[in-house]
Amino acid sequence: MLIKQLTVPKSAVNTISEKATLQESIELLEETGFRCVPVLDESGKIFRGNIYKMHIYRHKANGGDMNLPVTHLLKNATKYIHMNSSFFKIFFMIKDLPYITVLDENNHFYGILTHSSIIDLLQQSWSIDQGSYVLTIASPGQKGDLTAISKIINRYCSIMSCITLDIKRDKMVRRTIMTLEPNISKRTLDEVTNHLERKGFKVVGVENLHND
């Protein structure tokens, strides 16, 4: 239940009832400093959408009635995930949103998953706090490349994490980002780099995670 652990629960989220007016909504947004908040039905269980500060101000600037219900300017009514949603779906949906709404098994509002939570998760997956060096390795993208790269590195040290990028951008080159175990010496790093390049893999970037 990783999504549940990362989600800000309903009790800690500022929400607005669908019966609130645009004026009441903008007052809450100004008070909290958020650019948008979730809108729930009268029961406080059903997610209706998000209300954005920008849209309310645009409405007001155009002479719009601020006593209209908040539902008049609802957005993102279909932008939500469930507890058991895949992370592929999360990354796809949250791309243009400040957060993504999370529903429980009964389709009731459970809370929100924020951009910062996703960034923290990626940071953990890259082992930034524990690794020593991060290598960005370019390969032709052929079958067996990842296995070959891993075998070479494992001759010298352990791999803490591995992420592959650029699959769609350039079919001829694939970039693999690998974080090496802690306490790797510069000499070992050079041996890894030289071995990879002798085997036809280009180390295009090296980052020292603990370079003060």
Q: What is the pTM of this model?
A: 0.69
**For residue 33, what is the domain's CATH number?**
3.10.580.10
Same domain, yes or no: 111 and 140 = no
pLDDT tens-digit profile of 179-210?
999 989 999 999 999 999 999 999 999 988 87
Instruction: Give the integer Cα–Cα distance in Å for 149 and 147.
Output: 6
Q: Are 125 and 199 in contact (CB under 8 A)?
A: no
pLDDT tens-digit profile of 99-141?
999 999 999 999 999 988 887 777 666 656 677 899 999 998 7
Same domain, yes or no: 74 and 135 = no
Same domain, yes or no: 38 and 85 = yes
Which structure tokens are listed for 74? Answer: 């609802």
> Range of 175's domain?
131-206
**For residue 154, what is the domain's CATH number?**
3.30.70.260
Same domain, yes or no: 18 and 81 = yes
Same domain, yes or no: 9 and 99 = yes
Q: Shortest CA distance to 13 belongs to which of 115, 154, 110?
A: 110
Cross-strand bridge partners of residue 136: 177, 205
Residue 211 counted as domain residue? no
Cross-strand bridge partners of residue 111: 9, 102
Tell me 189's DSSP state: H
